[in-house]
Amino acid sequence: MLLHFTKMHGLGNDFMVVDMVSQSLRLPPEKIRRLADRRFGVGFDQLLLVEAPTNPDMDFRYRIFNADGSEVEQCGNGARCFARFVRDKKLIGRDRIRVQTAGGNIELNIQSNGEVSVDMGMPRLDPEQVPFNAQQRSVTYPLKVEGQVIEVSAISMGNPHCVYRVDDVHQAPVETWGPIIEAHPDFPRKCNAGFMQVVSTDEINLRVFERGVGETLACGTGACAAVVAGRLQGLLDETVKVNLPGGSLFIYWPGEGSPVMMTGAATRVYEGYTRL
C-alpha cells in the first residue's frame, strides 16, 4: 500500500505529516520506527497524524508519535506545521483552527505572514499534573543527577518538562544529562529536559533533549515551559524571544490563569509516497 505524506519542519524540528481523514491505515510502533529511520525510511523527529475529531466542537484530532513509536500528548512545533498542512491541503477554509490533542484542546491561528500562533493552553504547575514526584508545589525542586543536586522547574504543557537553568547552553551537559533527566524516576512518565540560559529579561537560549527522540533543533512546548519557569522565578518579561538551535520562537505568557501563546514559522519541505 502507498502512503501519501508531507515532510515539514518547524525550525528544524522535522515531521512526517499524514492525512488520516482521506486515508485509512494502521501504523503500529514498529512501522513508525521504520519510517523514522533516517537511512532506511523517511526520517523524522515526530510523526503527525491528522484525524477527524471525536469532539464535535473541534475541527481535527491531532496525534503525535515520537521516532521510537511512542505516542505523546503534545508538540508545539508540530502544531504549527499541522495548521499549515490542513490549510494548504484545503481540509479547512479558516485561518483559526480548533484542534483536539491527547494533552488537551488547542487553538491554532495562521497569520498573514504565514507564521502560526498557537494557544498552547494554561501550563500545569501542580506536581501531580506534570507528573512529578513532590509533596507540594514549588517554583523549583531539587533533583539528583549523577551525584549532584540541581534545582529544576517541573511544568506540563500537555507533556512533562524539566527546565534547568545554565550559564551557557553551548557548554550545557545536554548529551550526558539529557537522557538521565528524561528517564529520572521523579518523572514517572519521563520528561523533556530543557537547558535554559537567560540572556536578558526578554530573551533566552534553549536546548531541549526530547522524550523518546533525543536533542532536537527546536521544541515548541519546551520553549513555552522554559518561559513559564523563568517567569515564575522572576527572571523574564511577558514576551520572550526563545533562541533554539534551529531558529527563534516568540512566547507570550502574562502569568498564572492565562494560556501560553507561541508564534513561529512552519515550513513544507516536500510531498512524497512510501510503500508500507
- Which set of grid coordinates corresponds to residue 184? 529520572
Burial of 10 by CB count in 10 Å (0-12 exposed, 13-18 middle, 19+ buried)? buried
The reply, when asked if residue 55 is annotated as ligand binding, is no
The reply, when asked if residue 105 is annotated as ligand binding, is no
The reply, when asked if residue 192 is annotated as ligand binding, is yes
The reply, when asked if residue 133 is annotated as ligand binding, is no
> Which residues lie below 8 Å from residue 66, measured CB to CB, with a gap of 6+?
45, 46, 72, 210, 211, 212, 213
Residues labelled catalytic: 75, 219
> Which residues lie below 8 Å from residue 22, measured CB to CB, with a gap of 6+?
none
The reply, when asked if residue 76 is annotated as ligand binding, is yes
Q: Which of 187, 213, 157 is nearest to 12 (CA)?
A: 213
The reply, when asked if residue 211 is annotated as ligand binding, is yes
The reply, when asked if residue 43 is annotated as ligand binding, is no
For residue 172, the one-letter residue type is A
The reply, when asked if residue 84 is annotated as ligand binding, is no
Rounded CA-CA distance 126/134 in Å is 9
Name the pairing type of β-strands 239-244 and 203-210: parallel
The reply, when asked if residue 243 is annotated as ligand binding, is no
The reply, when asked if residue 135 is annotated as ligand binding, is no
Distances (CA, A) of 177 to 116, 226, 234: 32, 17, 25
Residue stretches of the annotated binding site for substrate: 13, 46, 66, 76-77, 159, 192, 210-211, 220-221
Residue stretches of the annotated binding site: 13, 46, 66, 76-77, 159, 192, 210-211, 220-221
